[in-house]
Amino acid sequence: MQNWEKVVSQGFENRNNICVWSMAKYKDYLYVGTMNFIDGCQVYRSKSGDKKSWKQVNLNGFGEKGSTGARNMIVYNNLLWVVTFSPKIGVQVWVTNGENSEKSGLNTWKKANLNGFGKGDNTFASRAMMVFKNRLFIGTQVKKGFPQIFRYDGQIDFDKIEPENWTWINKDYQNNMKNIPDFSVIGKMINFKTQDGKEYIYTGVYPEIAAKLVSLNRLLNPVVLMKVIQFFTLLRCNIYRYDGNNWEIIGKPGFGKFNVMAMSSVVFNSNIYFGTTNIFGSEIWKSKDGNNWIRIMKKGFNNPMNISVYRLHTFKNRLIVGMQNQWMGCQIWASKKENPLKNSDFVQISRNGMSNLRNINPLKLKQDGIRFFETFKGQLYAGTASNINIFKENTNGPGCEIWRISHL
């Protein structure tokens, strides 16, 4: 295994920070956003990435009760944009120019949308932010109805942000989803140019399972139980693409397999890759032309407990894979070469759970998932999750961690 250095412990010394949910390089700093159900989401930054160099730069929850996760962040027009997980009030978008307030010493932040993009708590989260044709796009997660993608059409000067100026752009694809109402999530969106020179947004669209498992734990409801069974046995993710005018489904649902979610993607050496969630072990699929797909990893690297490829990244011309594993702990894998085609073309480069401790008890909290990667000043950073176990509410875990490595 490679020698990783831990630079953040115990949730930035706040074990309520259970997840590193976002990372971005901005103005010579590495920014990190957390999930925190108790205090509200927090954003930290460091100029070096070293231990004890991290400083919180926002008010908890951005001063809003109910904003519990800094779900994603992106640099657009030389500003840092952060989108929140806010189940009680609706997803929020916050933007900063990186300058500090003289009064608080924190970054100056401005709210850049209406709660839930005007739809309140029904549109409560986002897993996707991207820039496409020099415009900012955000994909959302909803409680009821179809997930929506919004484009920012307002002014982009920091002093003139227009929270009301967002356009819902994916109304027309609802006709393709009439018979799958549980598809409530827009997964990570990514920009990919096909061999014929056309540029598209690609995204996975899929259902959510966490809320159903929580509901099932609270009350053994036959209807919810049936939906959980249906989720893992019948539902399949879809891959959509958008050229700026029209939406279309690409390939077979679930890539023709038991893939229920496609939450991670990356472009690497002129190929587009998607990582999946699969009850028989996660998979990775890739395409050269954006239409035809081949599977390059299956059965969770021959470990079915690796149920999700939660994050894909590239580092030093290698494909980097972050795994979710509730039983054994998170794992990080890397391709051995530039064009991986099968399981044996990858090698595990971290210990299970980033630790020497061996624990396969799924009910004991551990670093169970790699939630984000970022390359910063020549080093690979990995942010983990120590999620509250969905079967044991109000359980305080060890807090999230950040690890880094300079070479593979």
The tens digit of pLDDT for each residue in 94-133 reads 999 999 987 788 999 999 999 999 999 999 999 899 999 9
pTM: 0.92
DSSP label of 125: E
Pick the closest to residue 113 from 168, 59, 187, 188 (CA basis).
Answer: 168
DSSP state, residue 326: T
Say what the pLDDT of residue 390 is. Answer: 47
* Cβ-contact 205, 185 below 8 angstroms: yes
Other Cβ atoms closer than 10 A to 124: 23
Q: Kindly report the number of other CB atoms within 10 A of residue 31's CB atom.
A: 26
The whole-number pLDDT of residue 147 equals: 85
Q: Which option is the CATH number for 15-313: 2.40.30, 1.10.10, 2.120.10, 1.10.3470?
A: 2.120.10
Give 392's DSSP letter: S
What pLDDT shows up at residue 216?
46
How high is the pLDDT of residue 179?
44
- Could you give the 3-state DSSP secondary structure of residue 214? helix
pLDDT at 181: 46
Residues contacting 126, CB < 8 A, separation 6+: 71, 72, 83, 84, 85, 91, 138, 139, 140, 141, 186
| Range list of H helices, 128-238 | 210-218, 222-233
Q: Residues of the chain with pLDDT > 90: what percent?
A: 69
Say what the pLDDT of residue 170 is: 84
Question: Which of the residues in the chain have pLDDT under 50?
Answer: 177-181, 216, 390-391
